[in-house]
Amino acid sequence: NGATEDKSYLEFPDIITLSELPKERGWLSEHVHQYRGFWYPTGILQGLGALQQQWFKPKPDSVLLASYPKSGTTWLKALLFAISNRTQFDFNTHPLLSSNPHELVPQLEAYAFKHLTNPTPNTCLMHSHLAFNSLPESNCKIVYIFRDPKDVLASCWYFVQKLRPKDLPFISLPEAFDQFTKGYSPFGPFWDHVMGYYKASLEYPKRVLFLKYEDLKKDPIFNAKRLAEFLGHPFSLEEESKGIVDRITELCSFEKLSNLEVNKDGTHTGFFIPTIANNIFFRQGKVGDSKNHLSEEMIEVLDEITKQKLGFDLMTT
Ligand code: A3P
């Protein structure tokens, strides 16, 4: 509603004036607003405002995990957390056994908004759903995870059904599909979001790593090693011979994480949603599950847009 939105303009008057931005129907919030070519939920724009005013800055040696929602963020949070802290934790008492990955790796824009009075997070690992063109300036390394948009859309739609506030009307799958393909799904257009990071990974290969969910699925061990190398701490021969890489990928696997008590029955405090059940971040964890939910026509349309906007190389290499 207008009154709530108006309050946020007062907090970020010079940076973002919500009333002047084009808006569309949101999925988890009433509206999404178009800013620098992307559609953001109202709360996220407030975080973006805080970041732009530089009230909050990531530490220079931070690692930022970036993703379009439902592309494998939870999995990559777990992997990056386990890889970068591997000398600190024992596998029997590992924090991932008792905390959901979203509790261990905060979301940059949400954190910026909520922690204005305490702007230094005590973590070097953060996450963002923002488009590349709206990230705060920094020299952080970035790992982006890409997923087939058909699976992203199906996953998003199920997620939204579970989390959409009850006072907002239901969004059908055809409606969600329509918004997604037209580009005004939250954080969309999906394809521009991907392209921003893909181009950055070509331009700054030492700073930006572009990973695919499907590749991670195919060979988690190879990709865990790639991640450790990218972070500047490759696995040593000793670590490999002790089976550390295998143990990390097992710990972060869908089967392991989704069956932990904390992720079956636990909750965590979301930044914009007070209590989030951890199990909503684990549904199928498969490649290609969207074919069981999307119509043939939807699949054709999405594949055609992907072919046109991203080109085949991105889908097959
Ligand atoms: P599905 O809904 O297709 O099952 P995000 O973490 O970005 O919100 O994405 C959620 C998607 O990743 C969901 O996809 C979820 O099941 C899947 N997922 C969560 N943890 C995973 C893991 N450890 N391995 C593989 N997929 C995982």
C-alpha span between 280 and 103 (Å, rounded) = 14
In this prediction, residue 11 has a pLDDT band, given cuts at 50, 70 and 90, of very low
Would the pLDDT of 177 be above 80?
yes
Give dist(CA 70, CA 74) in Å, integer. 8
pLDDT > 80? residue 44: yes
Active site residue 129: yes
Question: Per-residue pLDDT for 119 more than 70?
Answer: no
Asked whether the predicted pLDDT for residue 259 surpasses 90, the reply is yes
**Ligand 1 test: best mutation among 83, 283, 289, 294, most atoms within 8 Å of CB?**
283
Complex-level ipTM = 0.99
Instruction: Provide the 3-class DSSP secondary structure of residue 253.
Output: coil
Tokens 């948009």 belong to 149
Annotated catalytic residue within 129, 193, 233, 293: 129
DSSP secondary-structure letter at 92? T
What global pTM score does this model have?
0.93
Helix orientation angle between 2-11 and 42-52, rounded to the nearest 10 degrees = 10
Can you give the pLDDT at residue 165?
84
The CB of 289 under 6 Å from ligand 1? The reply is yes
pLDDT at 220: 98
Q: Taking the CA of residue 115 as centre, how many other CA atoms within 13 Å lie in the half-sphere pointing to its CB?
A: 16
Mean pLDDT in residue range 17-45: 90
The pLDDT value given to residue 114: 66
Which residue from 214, 102, 251 is spatially nearest to 163, judged by alpha carbons? 102
Phi and psi at 192, nearest 5°, equal -70, -35
Query: Poorest-confidence range of 9-13, 82-86, 96-100, 117-121?
Result: 9-13
When the pLDDT of each residue in the chain is averaged and rounded to a whole number, the result is 89
* 269-280: average pLDDT: 84
Q: Is any atom of ligand 1 closer than 6 Å to the C-beta of 5?
A: no
| Nearest CA owner, ligand 1 atom 22 | 254
Is residue 5's pLDDT more than 70? no
Reference 284, options 77, 112, 82, 74; nearest CA is 74
Using pLDDT thresholds of 50, 70 and 90, give the confidence band for residue 112. confident
* 151 CB within 6 A, ligand 1: yes
Give mean pLDDT, residues 108-129.
Answer: 71
Provide, rounded to the nearest whole percent, the portion of the chain with pLDDT above 70.
88
**Helix, strand or coil, per DSSP, at residue 127:** strand
The token pair at 143 is 């790992």
Residue 152 CB burial class (10 angstroms; 0-12, 13-18, ≥19): buried
Least confident segment among 19-23, 94-98, 283-287: 19-23
**Residue 55: per-residue pLDDT:** 58
